[in-house]
Homo-oligomer: A and B are copies of this chain.
Amino acid sequence: MATLPPSTLPEFPASPSEAGGPAFSPLYQQIKGLILRSLQAGEWKPGEAIPSEVDLAARFRVSQGTVRKAIDELAAENLLVRRQGKGTFVATHAEEKIQYRFLRLMPDDGEASPVERKFIDCRRLRAPAEVARALELKSGDAALQIRRLLYFRGQPVVFDDIWLHGMLFKGLTAERLSDYRGPMYGLFETEFGVRMIRAEEKLRAVSADATAAGLLNLAEGAPLLSVERLSLTYGDKPVELRRGLYNTAAHFYRNEVS
């Protein structure tokens, strides 16, 4: 592609504006798409370096600046991580320094403490309607339910009820979950090749039911922050639906708007 000067783009205007999309996209967007495809295909694994900008430029027959702009966007979306002098790396959940990339819970007093996990159960069931809809499963398809607690300084603070796309996580058991050190999304990545790249969350305040109250050492009816998270992989394909109940008595959910 693009062996000719840029003015000749698009070489094949594809289907006109019929398919809804803009029938044309700038060269760097096309390159971005190609890199994305390689990421999705697993050509470069999480944590690994992708080829250098000049290599990619040669491979795609475009200038380094064009590759650079494509990578810029992928880095802005947290799919790639640039490190000057070293290279550009595929983002990963498996080697996050301190904490979970998606967890925005902070203690009221600055000190971020390490968290401990405790798995309550891990079962394979038929997806309930709501879960099936969110994960784009056919009703009756298999889903995996995981429930667990997160502890901060010995106190249970988060109760997670997690539903996973059944087909993608064949062979996931409570043992493998418990044995794995590090964030769950790291395990998904390394053991199942499923990479969470983005998540949409819906936050609400709810009252603790008997189960949640018991697990979190609270009175029934105590207010809890409900965080419903839909996690997406490449192509915005949903692979996990999770409802977390957070005890925000001594922690808060941090966010920044602009």
Contact = CB atoms under 8 A, between A and B. Distances in A.
Interface of A: 76-78, 101-102, 104, 106, 197-207, 221-226, 228-229, 246, 248, 252-258
Contact of A204 (B199, B248, B256): B248
Given A78-B258, A106-B202, A206-B223, 11 more contacts: A198-B258, A199-B256, A201-B254, A201-B255, A202-B253, A203-B248, A203-B253, A204-B253, A205-B206, A225-B225, A228-B252
Contacts of A201: 254-257
A102 B257 CA distance: 6
Contacts of A205: 205-206, 223-226, 246, 248
Contact of A225 (B204, B228, B254, B257): B204
A78 B77 CA distance: 16
A159 to B, nearest CB: 13
B204 A254 contact: no
19 contacts: A76-B76, A106-B202, A197-B258, A198-B258, A203-B203, A203-B225, A203-B248, A203-B252, A203-B254, A205-B205, A205-B223, A205-B224, A205-B225, A205-B246, A205-B248, A207-B223, A223-B223, A228-B252, A255-B255
A69 B87 CA distance: 21
Nearest to A196: B258
Contacts of A200: 254-256
A202 B258 contact: no
Nearest to A250: B204
